[in-house]
Structure 1
């Protein structure tokens, strides 16, 4: 059993869907779990639908554009007889419209998960039907029937015992199965999501439960690069990364591998490959046991639109364990991801990700006990395995608000 994951860029249009067939033909036969994300920028488009909906538009016009985009891809892929697949995908969007018309909840996170899943449901339906039409026989399966989670919408935790039981008892491991990334279901059978970019995690969940031979993530890049080509010049391919180093890179924000993906794979020593979907025969990057990183070169990471918060006690007393524990309790309460910590005797600084838009509530609580300064919209740059040249190139022309250096890692917070 092998697990393949195709991201949104891999299936953004009809040519991308056809290329999935090409990848499967070039990588050999045999049973597989194929995890597929929503097509192209569908998730972003559905987020606009959710925003429009919660502002009072019961069935937003923005939904029709998404439907039309999918129908155009279908017509290009199934030019001889598009009617059956059009009917299936139209049924999914009818389900979505019915939810929008009858839902009573105004809780953003709940509504988000009930709506956002239709991107994955539509894309996998199209990919599955297309492959069947090309004599690559497969089963379409609903990930929500297998990935069982708690009810923390938009960032659900996996119930591993129930998930493994569902997968082992119901998956046909002798065939190709196509399923959705990113989504699961809670004890009440409401849809949940595993966090943004959670499709990689879905692949790891199935691989772990099925003791897969390996996992391959098919991307629009040659493999894991030492920097994001959209942010840094001259990125270089990393041929091998250990599990530990990959977890470090993911923790600091490297976007190629989802932070939650690696732990279940490491537990069973299941290798992870990251390869370009347009050149399936290439080596790409292997993540597994062995050498820490090869070649050993500086790795650059940037996370943008964070918030730098600086705290000190009102009476200039020390920032001791009691104060710090209260701060972290509040971070947990308001779902703030902490990306950097720096403290001295009387001050404490953190760089946080306000992805759940609860900064104002957090600041109100903090100001009751501390003197608070904060700077929104900052960028956090990280270099793993830095050298002098790498530091100079990163710091050039930047206003540095905070700098922290450890044995292997340099981090700076800047206004730009």
Structure 2
């Protein structure tokens, strides 16, 4: 079996859905499992619904209606006959969403987030599955929550591999096009969980691992994995081949083409991962597999914006030792700040972090009792794998460099725009 993953950009409108059908005509669809994301910017639109649910109840209904309207327009573009059962199926999904909004009693933001945001994937796959059937392809729609079982760490759930393996091995049929949702799972109480933002790639890897798949293909609007984000760097080049090890390094430093957790299960079973273009499906794209670390060999640039640079120093000029550092990291873990760079000296300790849950203010109040805390907001972290002098100059040009760290293969530079 082959596993294909289509992201939000590939199914953002009726033309995108039709293009997925065309890609399947080219690439084949027998013994294929499709993992599909929410359509376009639906996740963002549902995040607004969540915000309004907690903060602006007067605007809640209009934000739900926006999501409904967007999907209804796609339905009307795809299906001429409004008596098609897809209309009823999608309406039922929205009824379930509205029932949850009306009856939920939990004040837990992360729990509510997962229950609401999941409707993006459930609706997109419902529409896609009905369209494939409409076009004559026999499909099986799978509710991923019955397959991927997790703990109850809402918004960043961990997979129960043993249970997940059992569910997938027993219930996924071959010789048919299977369609399921990315990003989602469920806990032991059958409440919806999510695997972290961009978790659809990870879902594809979970299914591939459990099915001993032949390959995973991530279909994107780019020709493959580039050595840099074309939005920030001119003349970005296509990488033809990346080893698992190098891809894990790139993902660890924040390359957004491949989700960090996606690669480990694939590497364990040596399942190749292809990143290909849904615009030009016949192009070879990039393969992530055993073999050369990087082909062609060149510097690779990773950009992480909206970072927070925190510098801690001891109030009495004493050394910052192991016990201090372990205490600091325990607090980072507690407040869910992701550390992307570490630099320390005898009496100071600097980290570049991502505060995606907005917890730094509370953390700072605790740190300030024991340390002198300096911080700079909205810095950019550049990571250059296989750097050379020219690559460093490209990054540093017209910027103020606040911190630089160099190891054998990797250079990291924290900057503020000049």
Could you state the TM-score of these two structures normalised by the residue count of structure 2? 0.98
Post-superposition offset of 1:365: 1.4
Post-superposition offset of 1:105: 1.7
Post-superposition offset of 1:29: 4.1
What's 2:349 paired with? 348
1:24-70 Cα distance to aligned partner (Å, 9 max, x none): 11112421110000000000111111101111417431110110110
For residues 7 and 210 of structure 2, what CA distance do their matches in structure 1 show?
21
Does structure 2 retain, via aligned residues, the 8 Å contact 1:74–1:82?
no
For residues 60 and 151 of structure 1, what CA distance do their matches in structure 2 show?
28
Tell me, yes or no, if structure 1 residue 406 matches structure 2 residue 407: yes
Does structure 2 retain, via aligned residues, the 8 Å contact 1:151–1:192?
yes
Post-superposition offset of 1:234: 1.3
List runs of 5+ in structure 1 lacking aligned partners.
Answer: none
Deviates more, 1:353-362 or 1:211-220: 353-362
Deviates more, 1:360-369 or 1:152-161: 360-369
What's 2:51 paired with? 51
**Structure 1 runs (4+) greater than 4 angstroms displaced:** none
RMSD: 1.0
1:62-112 Cα distance to aligned partner (Å, 9 max, x none): 110110110110111111345421111011011001100111122211110
What's 1:164 paired with? 165
Post-superposition offset of 1:171: 1.3
Give the 3 Å change call, closer, same or farther, for CA 240–82 of structure 1 in structure 2.
farther
What's 1:40 paired with? 40
For residues 174 and 143 of structure 2, what CA distance do their matches in structure 1 show?
15
For residues 210 and 395 of structure 1, what CA distance do their matches in structure 2 show?
46
For residues 174 and 261 of structure 2, what CA distance do their matches in structure 1 show?
24
What's 1:336 paired with? 337
Aligned length: 416
What's 2:95 paired with? 94
For residues 401 and 107 of structure 2, what CA distance do their matches in structure 1 show?
40
What's 2:131 paired with? 130
Post-superposition offset of 1:176: 1.5
The equivalences for 1:376-415 within 5 A come to 376-415=377-416
For residues 64 and 29 of structure 1, what CA distance do their matches in structure 2 show?
34
Could you state the TM-score of these two structures normalised by the residue count of structure 1? 0.98
For residues 328 and 240 of structure 1, what CA distance do their matches in structure 2 show?
36
What's 2:17 paired with? 17
1:269-290 Cα distance to aligned partner (Å, 9 max, x none): 0000000001111100000100
1:244-282 Cα distance to aligned partner (Å, 9 max, x none): 100111111111000110000001000000000011111
Tell me, yes or no, if structure 1 residue 70 matches structure 2 residue 50: no
List runs of 5+ in structure 2 lacking aligned partners.
Answer: none
Does structure 2 retain, via aligned residues, the 8 Å contact 1:270–1:288?
yes
For residues 330 and 52 of structure 1, what CA distance do their matches in structure 2 show?
30
What's 1:211 paired with? 212
